[in-house]
Structure formats: structure tokens, C-alpha cells
Chains A and B, each alone.
Chain A
Amino acid sequence: MPDSLTPGLVTVRLVYLARLREAFGSAGESLALSLEDESSVATVLARLRERGGSFALELGSGRAFRVAVNHALVTTDAKLRDGDEVALFPPVTGG
């Protein structure tokens, strides 16, 4: 049974872009959060930082990055629901 159908689990799709994709060596992944985690963007960031390495470095305090949930920019207190797409990326430099 996929995680998304398991009671008590919230599974989100993480997307890494630009410099963060290269730093993490990944374009994205699925991450399962238990309900007790009180699923928010901050929870995801804490889980990623626990891995250490480039995750702890790039998402550490003083580092500038942005978060979008389902294609809309959010702050780290944004709540997450099962199936949300959570993108992490550097400040934008288009135009």
C-alpha cells in the first residue's frame, strides 16, 4: 500500500531546483511525515537538516532559500496535506 493511503501518514513530494538541486544531488524525492509531526514546512526543513551535509548547510540559518507549496510561495509555518508538492529553491534571478 502506498504511503499516501496509510492512516497517520502525510506524504509530500519534494522538488529541488537550481543550485539546491545540484547541492543535494537530487531533483526531488517523496518524504513521509507522521501525523504526530504536525506537518508543516518547518517540519520538512527540520527533517532534511537532520541529515547533515549539504542539507544542513544549504537550509541552515543565515542561508537564503525560498519554499513553494503547490506552486505558491509560502512561509515556513505553512501546513502541509497529503500529496502536496513542496519546492525548495534559491532566491530567483530571472529577467
Chain B
Amino acid sequence: MTVRVQTEDFDAGREIAALRAGDARVGAVATFIGTVRDGSDASDAPKVSALTLEHYPGMTEKSLESIVIEARGRFNILDALVVHRVGALAPTDQIVLVVVTSAHRGEAFDACRFLMDFLKAHAPFWKKEATSEGTRWVDARTSDDEAAARW
């Protein structure tokens, strides 16, 4: 189990290969990648030109680790990886990677979705968007809390 917070980009293929390397118990690998969009949900809003990801050093890693431990307790998985980027990002950039390995696909899919839902609701990251009209902090969505509450 690994969690990482970093400014650098990540290579999902390399991360998946490393997570399942030499483990013949693995029969399923579920992966989620979150990327930077240039639009908000309001169609008339100005395009996003840049995104800054801030976090709370010290708490972030502990938070992600506790979410992975929770996933391991709830689902029969073999291993899990969470990589989250911070700093200056641009549209189309990768933000977050979650990889889960298990014997069968059901547990891998469920654990992957659980990890993302809990990360979005509990891990201390904040997004700030830049548009032609200036910068603004992204508001938390109640749908994210609802997604986490389903579990």
C-alpha cells in the first residue's frame, strides 16, 4: 500500500506494473485517473486556463493512508496505490491516480470507487481555478459528500 503527494506527473502504466509485479494472486486491476477540465458545470462560465492544487502537508498523507486502510478493511483487495498531484496544473493534466489490485474484478472496482469517493470528501486538497475573469477557489459539491455517504 502506497500513497504519494507530488508535483511531478505520473505514468499510470508504470505504476500499475509496479503494483502488481510478481504477484500471481492478482486477477483484476482497477484504475481511476482524474484530469483537469477546462470548463465548469455552468455552460456560460469562462474557460479554466490553469488550476492550482493546495494541500495540508502532514495531514494529507495521513488522511490518504487512513482512507486506504479503510478500503482494505471493507474490501478483499490485494494492494492499493493513491498518487495525488499538487501545485500548478493546466487543462488536460493528470491530477490523481488510484490503482487497486484484487483476485476478482468486483472488489477492485468497488474499492477503487470507494477510495475516490472518500478522497474527494475527506482528503485536505483545495482547487483554485484561473479564468479570463480572474481566480477563484472551487466550491465543495454536496454531491461529493453524498457519494461518500453511500458507503
Report if B125 contacts A (CB, 8 A). Answer: yes
Contact of A94 among B58, B59, B126, B139 (CB under 8 A): B126
Q: Which of B10-18, B37-45, B99-107, B113-121 contacts A (4 or more CB under 8 A)?
A: B113-121
Count residues of A near B (Cβ-Cβ below 8 Å). 17
Contact of B137 among A18, A72, A87, A94 (CB under 8 A): A18
Count residues of B near A (Cβ-Cβ below 8 Å). 29
Report if A92 contacts B (CB, 8 A). Answer: yes
Q: Is the CB of B122 within 8 A of A92?
A: yes
Contact of A89 among B120, B122, B124, B138 (CB under 8 A): B124
Once A18-B54, A19-B137, A73-B122 are accepted as A-B contacts, the answer to whether A93 and B59 lie under 8 Å apart by CB is: no
Once A64-B140, A93-B139, A95-B34 are accepted as A-B contacts, the answer to whether A87 and B59 lie under 8 Å apart by CB is: yes
- Give a binary string over A73-95; 1 marks a CB under 8 Å from any B CB, 0 the rest: 10000000000000101111111
Report if A51 contacts B (CB, 8 A). Answer: no
Instruction: Tell me the bound Cα distance from A15 to B53 in angstroms.
Output: 17
Report if B123 contacts A (CB, 8 A). Answer: yes
Q: List residues of B (76-91) whose CB comes within 8 Å of A's CBs.
A: 84
Residues of B at the A interface (CB closer than 8 Å) are: 34, 53-56, 58-59, 62-63, 84, 95-96, 116, 119-128, 137-141, 144
List 6 A-B pairs, minimum CB-CB distance, nearest first.
A94-B125, A91-B140, A18-B126, A71-B59, A95-B120, A19-B137
**Given A71-B62, A91-B139, A92-B124, 10 other A-B contacts at CB below 8 A?**
A17-B54, A19-B137, A87-B124, A90-B137, A92-B126, A93-B120, A93-B127, A95-B96, A95-B120, A95-B125
